Structure 1
Amino acid sequence: MNDWDSHVEKQKEICNDYDSLWKPINKDFKVGVSTDLNSDPLNGLRHNSEDGTTGWFIWSGEYEEREDFFKPLCAEHLLRIKPEVIKYLGLDIGFRFLIGKDNYQDVWFDKNVSEI
């Protein structure tokens, strides 16, 4: 599971299941992540990418409105610490996901995110 390419088909399945275009990210680009990725639930949302970023922001637990809440992390490094989120990273701009205990999964398009 630590091979980036092994997640491509699952990304395409997720996109198909939720009517999203498949928009793969560059594994060398940055994802914004919270310091703690071990609390439930785990959230993700995709903005437009800019300057070497994927546009993805991922956090666990409660979101906090702090300037330093997100730290940059190479997407390939995210694969090593949270491989379960990689299958969502092909979703298009404006999509969000929420995963939690007992294989809980929710994926949806958030028009407000896509317009930022």
Structure 2
Amino acid sequence: MKENIESQKSICKKYNSEFKPLDGQLFVGIATDLEIEPINGLRHPAHGTMNGWYIWSGEWSDSDDFFKPICIEHLIEMQPEISKYLGLDIGFRFQIDSKGYEDVWFDEKITRLE
């Protein structure tokens, strides 16, 4: 994961985010196999065993079991292009696809857990 630090810092600089490295001991919430595009991600504050990142593709669901915990290494094995976004600060969101589309923005509403 250390090899991704420079690309993470670059994305943070590009989108005016403070660089917030992940705790590798905590889990990412993943909702799907990420084979449908676009891929979406958002970062809440860390809580419990979760580092705050939630990643999904396809239709959103409010179901309590929509997200499943996965370790960061497995997420990066599945979708290596996601790794460069994982240094973004709490409150940031991204949407990407395989054709080069990239949208990153700050969403004040997700900076607090409610």
With structure 1 as the length reference, what TM-score do the two structures score? 0.92
Cα distance in structure 1, aligned partners of 2:104 and 2:17: 10
Equivalent in the alignment of 1:93 = 90
1:60: Cα distance to partner? 0.6
**1:3-22 correspondence to structure 2 within 5 Å:** 4-22=1-19
* Equivalent residues of 1:42, 1:59 under 8 A apart: yes
Cα distance in structure 2, aligned partners of 1:63 and 1:77: 22
Cα distance in structure 1, aligned partners of 2:59 and 2:98: 15
* Equivalent residues of 2:45, 2:112 under 8 A apart: no
Q: Secondary structure at the match of 1:103?
A: coil
| Pick aligned residue for 1:81 from 78, 85, 90 | 78
Deviation readout 1:78-116 (Å, 9 max, x if unpaired): 111111101000000000000014110000000111133
Cα distance in structure 2, aligned partners of 1:74 and 1:27: 8
Amino acid at match of 1:11: Q
State yes or no: 1:28 paired with 2:55.
Answer: no
List structure 1 runs of 4+ shifted beyond 2 angstroms.
none
1:45: Cα distance to partner? 0.2
| Pick aligned residue for 1:50 from 47, 51, 65 | 47
Structure 1 unpaired stretches of 5+: none
State yes or no: 1:37 paired with 2:34.
Answer: yes
Cα distance in structure 1, aligned partners of 2:26 and 2:5: 17
Q: Secondary structure at the match of 1:80?
A: helix
Q: Secondary structure at the match of 2:99?
A: helix
* Equivalent residues of 2:54, 2:67 under 8 A apart: yes
**Aligned pairs, number:** 113
Q: Secondary structure at the match of 1:50?
A: coil
